Each structure stands twice: as structure tokens, then as C-alpha cells.
Amino acid sequence: MAQMWITMGPQHPMTHGLWTLRVKVDGETIVDTDAELGYIHRGVEKICEDRDFTQITPYCDRLCYVSAMTWANSYIYAAEDLLEAEVPERAEFIRLISAELQRLASHLMWLGAFGPDIGSLTLMTWCMRDREMFLDLLQELGGSRMHYNYPRIGGVKRDIPVGFATRMIAKIKLFEKRIEEYEMLLDESTIWLVRLQGVGYTKAEDMVEAGVSGPNVRAAGVNYDVRWAHPYSVYDQVDWEPAVEKPTSVKGADCYDRYRVRMEEMRQSSKMILDAIEKIPGGKNTNYSAGDEMIMTKAPTRAPEGATGFSNYECTRGASQFYIKGGGEGRGKNPYRLSIRSPMFITIPYVAKTMIGYKIADIPAIMGSFDPCIGETDR
Amino acid sequence: MEDVYDLRSLLFGIADKTVTKLLTGTPLESQIETISFGLGTFVIVNVVFLMLFFSQFAILWIERKWCARMQDRRGATTALRSLWVGENGQTAGEWWNMLPFGAGKPVGMLNGWLNKNFGNSDERAMVDRVGNRSWMGLPILPGFFQNVADGMKFLLKEHMVPQRADKLIFEVSPFLIVSTTLLILGLIPLSSGIYATNPELSILYIIAIFGIAPIGVFFAGWSSNNKYTLIGGIRSAAQLTSYEIPLLLTLLSVSIITGTFNIIESIHFQHSAGAWNIFLMPLGGALFLLTMIAEVERVPFDMPEAEAELVEGWWTEYGGMRFGMLFMAEYIRTYAACFLFAHFFLGGWHLPFQGTIGSIGFLGLGSLYLLIPGAVVTLVKAWLVFLVVFVMARFALARIRTDQILEFGWRVLLPLSVLQVVLAVIYRLWLFDPTAVSDSVAGGMAWNAFGIPHFVPIATTVFWLALFFLMLRDEDKDASPERMFHVQTMQPAGKHIPGQE
């Protein structure tokens, strides 16, 4: 059969966003691929140069529409590094809890989108149902469902509400049972296994060289989690461990490994949240008023010229990094420069090349298993 | 055994009387027989077609409600159980209190009891968000007429042909698919007294008609001039060629066991020989269902329209009522598959234990049992097959890949169906007792062996069920612990000391 190029995207169910994957197929087999990114480039880094440090937070929320809290936190740590702000312990715990709740919601969104990729529609509705629990919790913190604008330089916007801990523990306990339900639906199904196992092999060395990070490399046996390797916040005070899949093949990790590692990561996040809410300083059922020194300290608003801030943060899709340069008096409260390192911007072109040799039907399975998010990719 | 309600002879009798009365003494008197036959056929064909066609609404409704239940949905398409029984002590609006004269009170009491005993014990209130949902249709069947609304929407949509499509073929292929699909309905009997037509070789005929639509699919995929539809059409052709053969062989074994190529006779045989075919050939039943799911292109065998990679497969370019008709054709084919399974394997219009219960003389209970209309039994069987097999498979399984499905078809299903044919020959030649066939109410005892009544079906069913459970057990997690079910972390969970790596 003659070879032909198929353009998948920008509007295509496989893309999980807005990008184009051009594949050259020989019958059903992929012989070449080409990823085209940049459809929703908004110039966030440039916009941020004209905003003061507090105003940047909502823009960082909007970097990724399913994982806003982790991206906002990521920025906040860089800004705190730049402005040398002190953060109260309680605020760090609240940030940890909010980030892990966001990780659960984001992984559920991934699983819910991955199910229809493989053909399981039920998975979508189940995951959306459970994600709603965590969106409700995050809404209690930030006031909205997707873009919270919750963390502040030097703390968090407001304390956890009264009763939040009880509701959260009940929901997490319920969710831990739900994970087992998912596994009954998926791991017990031979079709699910034959669609994922042995498909989309990626080698650990190749991924590390390309700069892929997060669950995608942990699936290949690389024990690298920023939260574990370079603990920021209070991740060294709570009980958890990174989910790392034991390598099963010399060819590297397949889609099933990547699926498993995220399921395990959801378990670990649940465990972490349950532990953190017990260890939170000041008690889990007290509510400090906004601006109280338990949750917020006064931070400087102007950065000296030449000062730099950097954060290395484990987002839901890998290591996100912020680099901010202060501008001195001439820039006022604004930074001189801000750059963002997005894990998916590195991953997507890499994944596009790993598809070569597999079938057309494997494209959504491989692409979905890497959990693409185009908001952060195009920035 | 004949169904009690013989609509066919009733209608033909009325037609005959009417035509005789009208035409006696006119120049057409010599043609009375022909005309009355034509009139009677016209009426019965329309009646049967309308019955089959409109009972199709039920399967759409069943699918909608059941998948909502499986998917635990909230909102406008809430499961029926959530609307009636409620979750967590709440129902979505106590509709029974709106009925006049307190007529709904018993329903409310029943619902309260169900809610208390079988309601979802979910810790969160689920239905509170559903409370302000809207649903269409009568209160008693919420969502039943949604399909009518969907059809109206399709009708009002614009029909667009892609600019570079092969316009003639593009327009013709949906009609090819839909018309051959509607022809299938003509062959399906609802009971021994309610059927449109009954050709001698109706099994062969129905399979031949089933095989025409794939050509239309391939035409549609090619003529749309779109790469997705092209791949979808080719996938469809590949899939159907690999699945038609096991399907035909399975039907051949049905014909061998029942000794006929006629659907109605094969149903009669199941009663007069004493056992439904599913108990004689469970393997054949499973093969039939698998190949039929592939034939009607539903999950897990729906790669021709795999929406994840091919958008909508071969019908990507169809819009408006063409899309609606193609969708309807898919459901009619599914419905026909359910009917065929009910007829070939579940005894058609015969009630469960019809012979045993039907021959009870005490107080005429047996005859009362036989008064249940055969058409109702057929419909319930078809709906159950649809619910238990097609809907549950669709919403519990994922989609299989093209090369895997072809391999499964050629390497697994084909040998198994050949085995089924051999088994059918052995059963018919050596285990079947033709002298014990009887078309009485009690039915025959043609499958006795070793002096034990019904030994053959019982032993066959027990054997295959045992094999099934053995294979289910064999599929264990210990076989490959590093791949199945749990990821092994480097350090066992819970062993971590905070602050130390």
C-alpha cells in the first residue's frame, strides 16, 4: 500500500488539546511522525514581565488547565527564592495538601481521557465523578473550580476552612476504595492489558537524555522525583515514597507501566494528604483569619537588580522549573525576566518519534499514556 | 409448538372475508385468492415491521439507562434506578406525589422501601445535584422519547457532501446500508403466528443480507475522499471478512443440529426435541455472540469507527439524517443479532420450561402459562440479550486493536467454529434420537442418553461451564506478578522514615 501522510489535529480526539501530529502511515503502520506545536502560545513569559509578582500567580494558574495549583505553587517557590520570603510551616503544609489534591484531580483527568483513547467510555464518567470530589475541595480553598489563585508569596491566600479536614479525609478514604474499583475494571480486563502491554516502549536512558521527567521516567525505573530527590516545602516530613515502576523489559517502559505508575502515584498522594493533615501545625480544625502570621508572612515586593530566583518543582507531568530575574528599581515591582521550563514541551516531540513502528490504533494509547497538556506546552 | 396467538391467520382470514364479500360478482371474482393473499401479506408485513421497528426504541432506552447506571452518571441522563430508588436516601424528585387521587402512593412506599434497603450507601449525597435536572418524556419512562428528539434534530440538520467526494456513491451507500438492514427485519419472526415472510432457506437468506451492508460501508469509506474514512472502510472490510466465516460456520452447526435452514423450523425443533440449543452448544452461542458483536461493530470490536484515532471512522463525513439513518441501521443490526440469538439458541417464542409447566393439568395452570404471548417472550429475550451482552460489553470493555482482532478471528474463532461444526455433526448423528421428537405441549425427549432424561444438554452445559470457570481461574495474577495489578516500588510502602532518603 502506498504511504500517506495523515494530519491528526489540531482538532482531533487524540490530541488532548490543540496541536497537530502528522503521521506517515504504510497501511496501518506508522513510518514517520512530525509534531507541530504552538497553536495556543499566549506569551505568558512576556506578559509576566509587565505584571508585578502577585499578579503573575493567576497567569501561572492558567499555564495548565488541569493542574493549576501545582503550576501556581511552582511559580511561588521561585518568587520566594527571589524575594527571600519566609513561609510559615502551616502554609507549607496547606500548599502540600493543595498540590497533592491537584495531583489527584489531574491524574484522574488523565485517566478519564485515557479511557476513551483505549475505548473504555465508562472510565471517563467514573473519573470525572471522582475528580469532582477534589475540585470541590480545591474550590473550598481557592474559591473557583479550575484556576484558584491560591498561593501567595509568603504563604497562602486563606486558611483551610473549618470542617475541610473531615470532608477531605472522608473523600480520600472513599477514593482509595475507588482506585481498587478502577483496577478491577482495567487490570482484570485482558483487552486493556493487550492494548497497553508491549506498546510504546521508551528507554530510560533515551528519556533522561531527552529531558523527559515525572511519572513518564519513573515508569521506566528511574527513581527521580523532585519531591524526593530535592525536597522542597515539607515533603520530607510526611510519609510517602515515589511511585517507581520496576523495569520489565530491556526495551524500557510501555504504556502499561506508565498507567501503573500513575495509579500508584495517586495512592501515594492520598497517603501523603492523610498524613499531612494530621501533622499540620496549628491543628486541622482551626481556622486562622486571612493574613494571620500562621499562614502568611509579609514579603518584600521588589527584587534587587541581578537577583535570581529558581524553583524546581514536581508538577503532575514532570519537573517544572521557573527562573526569575529581578530588575531592581527600574522595573518597579515587576521581574526583569521570567522563564518557564515545561515538562510536556520536551516530552511531546520525543513521544512523537517513539511511535514509529507501531500501528495507527496505538497512537492514542501511546500519546495518552504520556498525559499531554498543551496549555503548559505552548505557554 | 405453535404460539396461541396466531395473528397471521387472523389477518389473512379477515382479508379473505373482506375481499370475497367485495369482489364476488365482479369481473375480478377469479382473482379473489390472489388479491386476498396480497392484501393479507401487505397488512401482516406492515404490522410485523412496525412492531419490530418501534420496539427498537426500547433497546435504545435500555442502553441509555443501563449505561448510565454502570457509569454512575449524574445529570440529564441519570440512571433509572437513581430516579426511582434514589441514592443516599434521596430521590430525584418524588414524581409519584404528582399523580392525582394519591395513585402514586404505593409507588412511593415501594420506593421508600427500596431506597432504605437497596439504596446506595455512598457517603456523599449524589442525587442532590441531580435534583434540578430535566428529563424528557412521560414520568413513568423518563428519557424514553429522547430518541424522537434526537431524530428530529438529525432531520433538521443540513446535508453536506464533501467537495471532492464521489457524489453518487457517497449518496447511494447509506441507502444501500439502511435498506439491506431493514430487509433483515422482514425475516425475523416474533412468534409462530406473527412473522412477515418465511422463505424455505431463511437462515441463508438472512446471512446473505447481513453480508451486503459491509459493501456499503466500504463504498462510504472510499467515496468520502477522506483518509480517516478510507482507513475505517478498509478496517471494516478486513474485520468483516475475518468474522463472517466463523459466523457462517456457527450458523451451519445450528442448522446441522436442528436439521433445517429455516428459522421458524429451527425454533420448533428446539421445543420438540426437548432442549434449547444454548444447552447443546454453549460454545456455538458464545461464538455467535462474539462474531455478531464484530459484525455489528460495537465495542470491543468497533475499530472501523474508533473515535480515538479515526474520529468517527467511515461515517466521519456523513451528517444530518444520513448520519441518523446509519446510526439507526447499526442499532437495527444489533437488534436483529439479539433476535437471532434468541431464536437460534434461546428457543425463540418458547417460554422457559414450557413443556414441563405447560403440561401441568392442575387447575389449568399449564394452559394459563401458555397464554403468555410468544411475541412478548421473544421481545423480552431479545432485550435481555441486548442488555446482558451488548450493553454490558460496550460499557465495561475497551477497544481491541485491528491486528489483534484479525488474529483473534483467524486463529481462535475459526478453529473453534470448525470444532463446533464437528461437535454438531456428532451430536446430530449419534446422540440424537429422531423417534422421540414430538411437537406436543410437553415437547420431545430426543436428547436422552444412558436412560437419563435430557442427559446430553445437561452434561454439555456442565462441561462447558466447568471449562469456563477453570479458564477464569487460570487467568491468575501470580503468573506474572511484576506485570499484573500492582506496581512494585523500590521500597515497600509505609517503610519510609521521614527526612531520610
Got the DSSP string for B322-358? HHHHHHHHHHHHHHHHHHHHHHHHS-TTPPTTHHHHH
CA nearest to A154, candidates A203, A223, A84: A84
CB within 8 Å of chain B, chain A residues 130-159: 133
Rg for chain B, CA atoms, rounded: 26
Residue B126 has pLDDT above 60, yes or no: no
B173 and B45, same domain (yes or no): no
Enumerate residues 6+ apart whose C-beta is below 8 A from B164.
B225
Interface test with B, best of A6, A122, A174, A196 (most B CBs within 10 A): A122
The kind and range of the H/E element at A78 are helix A68-83
B481 within a domain of the structure (yes/no): no
Residue of A nearest to B497 (CA): A239
Nearest CA in chain A to B498: A237
User: Does B480 reside within a domain?
Assistant: no
Residue B438 lies in a domain: yes
B290 and B329 part of one domain: yes
Tell me which of A11, A120, A199, A366 to substitute to probe the interface with B (most B C-beta atoms closer than 10 Å).
Answer: A120
Distance from CA of A195 to the nearest CA of B (A): 7
Share of chain A above pLDDT 70, in %: 100
Q: Which domain range does residue B27 map to?
A: 7-54
Residue B487 within any structural domain of the chain? no
Per-residue model confidence (pLDDT) at position B492: 39
Residue B462 sits in the same domain as residue B364: yes
**What's the structural domain count of chain A?**
1
> Which pLDDT score, from 0 to 100, does residue B120 have?
54
Chain B residues with CB under 8 Å of A239 CB are: 494, 496, 498
Cα B461 to Cα B445: distance, rounded to the nearest angstrom? 17
> What sign has the CA pseudo-torsion B442, B444, B447, B451?
positive
Distance of alpha carbon A211 from its chain centroid, rounded?
16
B198-227 pLDDT tens trace: 888 999 888 888 888 888 888 888 888 888
Indicate whether B495 belongs to any domain: no
Q: Does A201 touch chain B (CB under 8 A)?
A: no
Could you tell me which of B78, B87, B157, B92 has the C-alpha nearest to residue B119?
B87
pLDDT per residue as tens digits for the range B65-108: 788 777 766 554 556 555 555 554 555 556 677 677 878 788 77
Residue B364 or A148, more confident: A148
Q: Assess if residue A248 is contained within a domain.
A: yes
- A311 belongs to a structural domain: yes
DSSP at B315:
G
Range in A216-225, A272-281, B361-370, B472-481 with the lowest mean pLDDT: B472-481
Burial class (CB in 10 A: 0-12, 13-18, 19+), B246: buried
For residue A243, pLDDT over 60 is answered with: yes
Q: How many domains, in total, are found in chain B?
A: 3
Asked whether residue A355 is domain-assigned, the answer is no
Q: Is the pLDDT of residue A66 over 70?
A: yes
Could you tell me if B27 and B79 lie in one domain? Answer: no
At A282 the pLDDT is: 84
Indicate which CATH number applies to the domain containing A151: 1.10.645.10
Q: In what order do the strands lie in the sheet with A20-26?
A: A3-8, A20-26, A29-36
- pLDDT tens sequence across B142-173: 667 777 888 888 889 888 888 888 889 888 88
- The reply to whether B235 and B277 lie within a common domain is yes
Mark whether B225 and B140 lie in a shared domain.
Answer: no
The SS3 assignment for A143 reads: coil
Confidence band, pLDDT 50/70/90 cuts, at residue B124: very low
pLDDT at A288 over 50: yes
- From the candidates B66, B290, B394, B397, which should be mutated to test the interface with A, based on the most A CB atoms within 10 A? B397
Complex ipTM:
0.80
Within 8 A of A359 by CB-CB distance, chain B residues are: 401-403
C-alpha span between B258 and B183 (Å, rounded)? 24
Say if residue B408's pLDDT is above 70. Answer: yes
Question: Among A15-19, A246-250, B275-279, which is the least confidently predicted range?
Answer: A246-250
Domain extent for A152:
43-345
pLDDT of residue A136: 86
The predicted-structure confidence for A134-178, as pLDDT tens digits, reads as follows: 888 898 888 888 888 899 888 898 888 888 888 888 888 888 888
Chain A residues with CB inside 8 Å of B307's CB? 13, 116
Does residue B479 fall inside a structural domain?
Answer: no
Specify whether B332 is located in the same domain as B254. Answer: yes
**Rounded Cα gap, residues A152 and A79, in angstroms:** 10
Q: Are residues B148 and B173 in the same domain?
A: no
Say yes or no: B257 and B247 in one domain: yes
CA dist B30 and A153 (Å) reads 101
- Same domain? B251 vs B391: yes
Cell 410468544 sits on residue: B374
Q: Same domain, yes or no, for B142 and B15?
A: no
Q: Are strands A151-152 and A155-156 parallel, antiparallel or unpaired?
A: antiparallel
Is residue A117 within 8 angstroms of chain B, CB to CB? yes
DSSP 8-class letter at A355: T
Phi, psi of A282 (to 5 degrees): 90, -5
Q: Are residues B321 and B373 in the same domain?
A: yes
Q: Does the beta-carbon distance from B398 to A4 stay under 8 Å?
A: no
pTM exceeds cut of 0.80: yes
Q: Which residues of B touch A167 (CB under 8 A)?
A: none
> Facing residues of A338 across strands?
A324
A361, B482: Cβ pair inside 8 Å?
no
Please give the pLDDT value at position B367.
Answer: 81
- The reported pLDDT for the residue numbered B80 is 59
Q: Average pLDDT of B55-61?
A: 85
Q: Looking at the predicted structure, is the pLDDT value of residue B334 above 60?
A: yes
Does some domain include residue A76? yes
